[in-house]
A = this chain, B = another copy of it.
């Protein structure tokens, strides 16, 4: 952790002062630290979990040598800004992490429900599915089941795009569309996602699996979704800045849609929903008008 006061709080009270504060944290004191370099040097597995927008900052001072031989797992759902790369690509190019030492951990999984010990399914993806299976074993518990996948690109992009679609759903709700329209929006969203990942990484995948469709639904429909809440405020007329201030949390889809807009210049996939969210958030197009325009393109 970066914040020294939070570290001291956890050492002293065994609870995180800021997030899911009711959960008891029982770790050896040296494991909760801001000395990332030392922590990594003592670890076999490094699980990264910061918003993608802050990954570069978080890794400052860490070199390829520090990560050499480590297995790196990303629980990040986002694209690295400026680089416009998913986490696997970024770590591969900038830190030399080979793809068969890299894993992705994905939902459908709201942390809030895991804290409540509600049965949840995690998908663990890696080019090396034996590595994924071994890692999955460490994560399985009474209330966590794991699914193995070899689809890093689909799993990462699925986790990124679902946040954008949840913002879209929130905006539509905010401007007054109902559940009937929401269902049409999300059934179009999964087809848009399928088109995009097929263009980026064309392998045989079933987009209706839990890691893709399930993850999209839990985010688009759940009360816990930050991105949906953010979109709803935008739909109701909040500016981006005031919505972010009000929420006191990052809606990752806000950054993701900008990155995706850049990435898609190279693939030119037909993505009317992402385009609409981009136009509203970055070109200040009026939400109601833009969603009316989007509705004409859905089926």
Contacts and interface: CB of A to CB of B under 8 A. Distances in A.
A100 B183 CA distance: 29
Interface in A82-123: 107-110, 113-114, 116, 118-121
A295 B208 contact: no
A116 B177 CA distance: 10
Interface stretch (A26-34, A53-61, A211-219, A255-263): A211-219
A42 interface: no
Interface in A109-156: 109-110, 113-114, 116, 118-121, 145, 147
Contacts of A147: 299
Contacts of A180: 107-110, 113-114, 118-121, 218
A128 to B, nearest CB: 20
A178 interface: yes
B181 A118 contact: yes
A159 interface: no
Contacts of A119: 177-178, 180-181, 295
A222 interface: yes
A207 B182 CA distance: 17
A210 interface: yes
Copies in the complex: 2
A199 interface: no
A206 B179 CA distance: 22
A3 interface: no
Contacts of A210: 183-184, 187-188, 298-299
Interface string A212-241: 111101100111100000000000000000
A179 B295 contact: no
Contacts of A224: 179
Given A108-B180, A113-B180, A179-B113, A217 B121 contact: no
A208 B207 contact: yes
Contact of A118 (B177, B191, B214, B223): B177
Contacts of A252: none
Interface of A: 107-110, 113-114, 116, 118-121, 145, 147, 176-184, 186-188, 190-191, 194, 206-210, 212-215, 217-218, 221-224, 295, 298-299
